[in-house]
Amino acid sequence: MSPDLVHARVFESLTRLRLGYVAERLDALLAEAARTEPTYLDFLDNLLREEVGSKQRKRIAMGIQIAHFPTVKTLDDFDFKFQPSVDHKLVRELAMGRFIAQAENVLIFGPPGVGKTHLAIALGRAVVEAGHSVLFTSATALLAALSRAETEGQLAERLLFYTKPKLLIVDEVGYLPFERRSAHLFFQLVARRYERSSTLITTNQVVTQWGTVFGDEVLAAAILDRLLHHSHTLMLSGESYRLKQKKKAGLLSGSVSPAK
């Protein structure tokens, strides 16, 4: 059979097998092989690795899109020196994503500006890279969505939507107090996810304040009970990173020189 026909057939087979990346790069890969003369095994290995690598990149890009992270933050751009209070080793361990298989939760506590959201996003990205589904939401948006769904008779569907991801990140719990009804909806969600999938919470409120946040001590205790049962805790402290940047720029030093 003519080489052209075989080439066409290989291309068709690759496409049918959905090995699109290799199909697209077939000519370049063949030209390179003609030049470097790899063994049959090395050639096959290289081909498959290219395809696996491409599929992996696509899956991660899709997972990150689905997660709805508000910004791009990574562990690499987190300055652990500025935040010595944080357990560096635990963060690295969590980033491997093993807590997901155990349906363990993560709670990040700390005052404003110390990097809670940054770490939540960075860990979320790492979990996507480890192959799990992630959804990021602020507590306010989550509660608004659940309340709306309840009013519209769509609560079951909405709860399912927030129950599905292997990791649900709820950012900024405690910045605004929950209404009583919202607190109940939040409890329902936490109860559904309990021991099935992981939830990561960031909060500026210590647990003793959660009664105030949820407007009900008993409900707060029930929520905390489930969140804390199998959980990892990161305590962040110190001053706001944002303010530090401003201080550096001389904006908050108290000795701002008058404009000339």
Residues making contact with ligand ADP (CB under 6 A): 73, 77-79, 82-83, 110, 112-118, 241-242
**Among the candidate windows 3-11, 80-88, 113-121, 205-213, which touches Mg ion by CB under 5 A?**
113-121
CB closer to ligand ADP out of 8 and 235: 235
CB closer to Mg ion out of 172 and 216: 172
- Smallest separation, CB 219 to ligand ADP (Å): 25
- The residue type found at 177 is P
Q: Does 83 bind Mg ion (CB under 5 A)?
A: no
- Smallest separation, CB 72 to ligand ADP (Å): 10
The residue nearest ligand ADP at its CB is 115
> Which has the closest alpha carbon to 230: 106, 56, 85?
106
CB 171 within 8 A of CB 135: no
- Smallest separation, CB 235 to ligand ADP (Å): 12
- Give the residue, chosen from 117, 199, 203, 204, that forms a contact with Mg ion under the rule CB under 5 A: 117
CB closer to ligand ADP out of 113 and 124: 113
**114 binds, options ligand ADP, Mg ion, none, Cβ within 5 to 8 A by partner type:** ligand ADP
CB 235 within 8 A of CB 115: no
**241 binds, options Mg ion, ligand ADP, none, Cβ within 5 to 8 A by partner type:** ligand ADP
- Smallest separation, CB 170 to Mg ion (Å): 11
CB closer to ligand ADP out of 43 and 241: 241
- Smallest separation, CB 239 to ligand ADP (Å): 10
* Residue 81 to residue 87: CA distance in whole angstroms: 11
**165 binds, options ligand ADP, Mg ion, none, Cβ within 5 to 8 A by partner type:** none
Interface residues with Mg ion (CB under 5 A)? 116-117
